[in-house]
């Protein structure tokens, strides 16, 4: 499981060659396949599936993704938003009860991480599943502020169209400040000053 979580592809192959149990589970019944997807190692997930791992649906159904697991600081949905590239995995976590508005110890949500990492498809998926678009983390940052900070015009437009509030502030700094000082995208600045 550790090798799948950390992305050690060659180690996973060696373990499988040496008859490691690909469906072995931890105390929460989470297997290596879930960890591979959660931490963005789709290539390792493919290797596991080719070597007898339970399907993702079966893995999630057997896993004890109870409230404690889903809402921990290492919550699968937050980790997937931060690390994964697999939208299907993200949706399956939501379908299995992950709270799209859960905040970790820093107040970050899956939406904030997806915006921070520039994952527009994840942002769309989370909004479609009722993520709070204007949630602020402990540092008072929002998904829109991160999109502006990154200079991501497409994500900024999408967040604004979905109802993101451009007037929310972090101290005296709003989305426009982040666009001007960090994003340096004139189109975003024009969009925010309309």
Cα–Cα distance, 153 to 164 (Å, whole number): 14
Contact 33, 8 (CB under 8 A): no
CATH of 103-194, one of 3.40.50.170, 1.25.40.20, 1.10.10.60, 3.40.1350.10: 1.25.40.20
Cα–Cα distance, 117 to 113 (Å, whole number): 6
Cα–Cα distance, 157 to 159 (Å, whole number): 6
pLDDT digits (tens, 9 = 90+) for 6-55: 989 999 999 999 998 888 888 777 788 888 888 888 899 889 989 988 77
pLDDT digits (tens, 9 = 90+) for 118-151: 999 999 999 999 999 999 999 999 999 999 999 9
Indicate the pTM of the whole model.
0.74
Cα–Cα distance, 152 to 136 (Å, whole number): 19
């Amino acid at each position: 499981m550790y090798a799948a979580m950390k992305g050690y592809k060659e180690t996973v192959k060696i373990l499988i060659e040496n008859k490691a149990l690909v469906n072995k589970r931890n105390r929460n019944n989470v297997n290596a396949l879930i960890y591979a997807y959660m931490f963005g190692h789709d290539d390792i997930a493919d290797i596991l599936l080719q070597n007898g791992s339970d399907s993702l649906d079966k893995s999630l159904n057997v896993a004890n993704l109870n409230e404690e697991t889903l809402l921990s600081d290492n919550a699968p949905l937050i980790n997937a938003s931060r690390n994964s590239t697999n939208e299907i995995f993200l949706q399956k976590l939501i379908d299995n009860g992950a709270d799209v508005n859960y905040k970790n110890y820093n107040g970050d949500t899956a939406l904030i991480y997806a915006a921070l990492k520039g994952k527009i498809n994840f942002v769309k998926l989370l909004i479609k599943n009722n993520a709070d678009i204007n949630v602020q983390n402990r540092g008072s940052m929002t998904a829109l502020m991160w999109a502006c900070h990154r200079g991501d015009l497409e994500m900024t437009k999408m967040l604004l169209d979905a109802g993101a509030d451009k007037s929310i502030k972090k101290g005296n700094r709003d989305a426009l400040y982040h666009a001007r000082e960090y994003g340096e995208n004139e189109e975003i600045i024009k969009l925010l000053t309309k």
